[in-house]
Structure 1
Amino acid sequence: MELCRDASMWLLEFQEANVVTLPWLSEPVLQQCWLPPSNQLYKVNVDGAIFKATNESGVGAIIRDANGLVVLALSQRIHAPLGPLEVEAKAFESGLEFAVEVGLQEFILEGDSLNVVHALQGLTLLNGNKPVHLLAKHAISIV
């Protein structure tokens, strides 16, 4: 279990360190930080990605404990050409199912799609969702 957690963290660190900067982007991007859940709770962050070249999508989910440590992560390829709102909704669904499958009963579910969050009513919005988005994009490499 610890090896999986370490591997997940190393993968995310590698991917974050190798993100290509876009010189044509003139405005600075506001980086929001991730906040850990309160004691005794887990936080499940979700995000989706679209792969136009292959007409597919991907979703990612990261489960963290109250200390902010990654407990589990999910990267899933979807063999369907989903739109932006659909893939974000699928990410919420996959993250919820993932959390329940691993035995979590109480947790916070967060994502960066305001439309999905509003549709689900009562869930927390998170804009600093970069690691989960990287997992969703990673899904293109899953066979």
Structure 2
Amino acid sequence: MNSKSNSWDTNLVRDIFVERDVNLILSIPLNNAVADTCTYNCFKQWFANTVQSLEKKAIEEMVMVCWAIWKNMNAIVWKQYGSEFSEVCKSAKLYLNQWKTAQDKSFSNSLGFMTQEDGLEQWVRPRDGMIKINVDAAIFEDTSKYCYSMIARDGAGELVAATTKCRSGTIVSEMAEAIGIKEALSWIKNEVTQPAIVESDCLSVIQAIRCSTVNLSYLGRIIDECKALLSDLKNRHVVLNFVKRSANNVTHFLARHNSSIADRQWYGGNVFPELYQVICNDLKF
């Protein structure tokens, strides 16, 4: 904002936000009090004053939204893309929620949409006659790519199938995780006949899939597809569980192994040595 004229700094607003939000922001009238409080040069004082009047939860959310706005600004300046303000705020709250849960060593099931099966800290073999599919995703901002991977193992811990796919595009991590879960559920629907467990360490996406709230964003449409697939697979005893990062090591490794890999698949013992070692490490527990 321009403190001398008590008006919006048009160039700054256009640098930070996408066109839709630019028009909305510039249409908001400013008075002297707003301009004096929110001017860029007084941000530090504004922040200090605001913190004093908020509770801890609100402070945490405010800090995350500020961080997300800064990150979105950098994306616009350096990579010529950005998200709408509503998506920036949603993403900030999702990151905060997921980070806080990841730091909770005791893991309380009182958190929303959690079950007794959630929160495993180490990979555990499924029961005989079942198959377990772990899913993970990775974002490569420097090359504007994202990858998602999944690995299916049986009750003996043996590899049934593994796949990793990379796509060009710039999306938030929750989107990549949701796409990975959708692909895993689609694979189960088309290729698997026995009961199955799908595991992901992305709590925010699993909560969204379990929640009945309607989300009209593009991420919401992917979430709805996951919900529909789970509904179709209900009679085949397919469940989706949240696990800690430490219980998702193999897919974490696969998704980040090489961002140039595209649509690679492995079956049985036909895997490269590094992948074989990570799989074996899971069986030590």
TM beyond 0.5: yes
Q: Secondary structure at the match of 1:123?
A: strand
Offset, 1:139: 5.1
Q: TM-score, normalised by structure 2?
A: 0.37
Aligned match of 1:131: 250
| 8 Å Cα contact 1:75-1:138 kept in structure 2 | no
Q: Choose between structure 1 and 2 for higher RCO, CA contacts under 8 A separated by at least 6 residues.
A: 1
How big is each residue's C-alpha offset from its partner over 1:69-114, in whole Å with a ceiling of 9 and x where there is no partner?
Answer: 1110010002221111111111111222223332345311110011
Distance 1:130 1:71 in 2: 17
Residues 131 and 194, structure 2, Cα contact 8 Å, conserved in 1: no
- Unaligned runs of at least 5 residues, structure 2: 1-104, 106-119, 211-238, 263-285
Measured against aligned partners, the alpha-carbon deviations of 1:39-95 in whole angstroms (never above 9, x if no partner) come to 211001000000111111000100010111111001000222111111111111122
Classify the secondary structure of the residue corresponding to 1:91. helix
Are residues 1:46 and 2:135 paired? Answer: yes
Secondary structure of the residue aligned to 1:140 is coil
Name the counterpart of 1:19: none
**Distance in 2, Cα, partners of 1:139 & 1:75:** 10
Aligned residue for 2:101? none
Larger Rg: 2
Does 1:78 find its partner at 2:195? no
1:126 maps to amino acid: V
- Aligned equivalent of 2:28: none
Letter in 1 for 2:138: A
Aligned to 1:10: none
| Contact 1:46-1:95 within 8 A present in 2 as well | yes
Matching residue of 2:68: none
Backbone CA RMSD of aligned residues: 2.0
State the match for 1:12 in structure 2. none
**What is the letter of the counterpart of residue 118 of structure 1?**
Q
Q: Give the alignment partner of residue 200 of structure 2, picking from 99, 103, 111.
A: 111
TM-score of the two chains, using structure 1 as the length reference = 0.71
Where structure 1 has 5 or more consecutive residues not aligned to the other structure, the ranges are: 1-29
CA distance 1:104–1:140, shift in 2 (3 Å): farther
Q: Is the 8 A contact 1:36 1:65 kept in 2?
A: yes
Partner of 1:120: 209
Relative distance call for 1:81 and 1:95 in structure 2 (3 A) is same
Q: Which has the higher strand share?
A: 1
CA distance in 2, matches of 1:129, 1:49: 13
Larger relative helix fraction: 2
Percent identity over the alignment is 30
Alignment of 1:19-34 (within 5 A): 32-34=121-123
User: Contact conserved, 1:60 with 1:134, CA < 8 A, in 2?
Assistant: no
Shift >3 Å, 4+ stretches: none
